[in-house]
């Protein structure tokens, strides 16, 4: 069977193996998919070891930018993002890197959650690989404003400069902003450690602002608990994004697009 895997640190919480097993059953594809914990100082070794005979890899926190540097070629989405979350070992053995995160996020926001992005004021928390991967698709949805907020302001400003030809993007520090927005997307991994980025609760307009955490857990994430306590109209976690970006990766690997709705529903039930 063709072998696939997701590589990250931490990785024990990942639902990707279950998602891809359901995709494979649904589409009649013969494959295996596993979760691999990579040492923080040797992602490259783990990646190369698996792809010696593996066919494809998903990459998660904190290795997406490292993955970009290790592949032989990039899709247009990955090239612009500077981050890779999906790798295909091609017939000649070369590695193609793609980034399906942004497409997965926008599809989850618009199609699954019914959130309007056109004309919205959006705050994006974090300036790492997760943020880089979603900025281009978010700007393509035509928001009125996209502000990247990060503890280290320089990193946020670098991203704003990198993408400023695509739409209205700006940068700020965690403590700079207090005016409410329509949508806050948490692209940091703080929730995995039970923490919340130190932003002002005034960014949430009670009963109006939607908060979206790209992380997910069986219980509400720390960020979504904080958002709910401060009156967010809705709090959505990243499970739908995970399913949607996985479907993009599956299609790249196998040439067939799985249906995401039944998989998302099954995960929510469990």
Q: Which of 102, 5, 107 is nearest to 53 (CA)?
A: 5
> Does 127 count as an annotated binding residue?
yes
> Does 268 count as an annotated binding residue?
no
> Does 237 count as an annotated binding residue?
no
> Does 213 count as an annotated binding residue?
no
> Does 171 count as an annotated binding residue?
no
User: What's 102-161 look like in SS3?
Assistant: HHHHHHHHHHHCCCCCCCCEEEEECCCHHHHHHHHHHHHCCCCEEEEEECCHHHHHHHHH
Of 20, 55, 64, 254, the catalytic one is 64
Q: Which of 53, 59, 42 is nearest to 1 (CA)?
A: 53
> Does 133 count as an annotated binding residue?
no
Residue 64 known to be catalytic: yes
> Does 144 count as an annotated binding residue?
no
| Residue 137: partners with Cβ closer than 8 Å, 6 or more residues away | 77, 102, 103, 105, 106
> Does 153 count as an annotated binding residue?
yes
> Does 245 count as an annotated binding residue?
yes
> Does 196 count as an annotated binding residue?
no
- DSSP for 36-93 reads EEPPTT-HHHHHHHHHTT--EEEE-TT-HHHHHHHSSEE-HHHHHHT--SEEEE-TTS
Q: Which amino acids are annotated catalytic?
A: 64
Where is the binding site, in residues? Answer: 14-16, 60, 85, 101, 126-130, 150-155, 214, 216, 238, 245
Where is the binding site for shikimate, in residues? Answer: 14-16, 60, 85, 101, 216, 245
Where is the binding site for NADP(+), in residues? Answer: 126-130, 150-155, 214, 238
């Amino acid at each position: 069977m063709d072998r696939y895997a997701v590589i990250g640190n931490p990785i024990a919480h990942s639902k990707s193996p279950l998602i891809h097993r359901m995709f494979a059953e649904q589409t009649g594809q013969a494959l295996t998919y596993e979760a691999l914990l990579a040492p923080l100082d040797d992602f490259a070794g783990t990646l190369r070891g698996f792809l010696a005979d593996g066919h494809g890899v998903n990459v998660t926190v904190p290795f997406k930018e490292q993955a970009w540097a290790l592949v032989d070629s990039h899709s247009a989405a990955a090239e612009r993002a500077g981050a890779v979350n999906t790798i295909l070992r091609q017939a000649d053995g070369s590695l193609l890197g793609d980034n399906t995160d942004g497409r997965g996020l926008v599809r989850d926001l618009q199609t699954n959650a019914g959130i309007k992005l056109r004309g919205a004021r959006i705050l994006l928390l974090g300036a790492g690989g997760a943020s880089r991967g979603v900025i281009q698709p978010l700007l393509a949805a035509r928001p009125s404003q996209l502000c990247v907020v990060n503890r280290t302001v320089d990193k946020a400003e670098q991203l704003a400069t990198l993408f400023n030809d695509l739409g209205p993007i700006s940068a700020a520090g965690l403590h700079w902003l207090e005016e409410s927005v329509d949508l806050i997307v948490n692209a940091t991994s703080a929730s995995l450690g039970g923490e919340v980025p130190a932003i002002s609760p005034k960014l949430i307009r009670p009963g109006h602002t939607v908060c979206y955490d790209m992380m997910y857990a069986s219980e509400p994430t720390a960020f979504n608990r904080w958002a709910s306590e401060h009156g967010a109209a809705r709090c959505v976690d990243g499970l739908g994004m995970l399913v949607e970006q996985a479907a993009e990766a599956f299609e790249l690997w196998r040439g067939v697009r799985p249906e995401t709705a039944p998989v998302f529903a099954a995960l929510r039930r469990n």
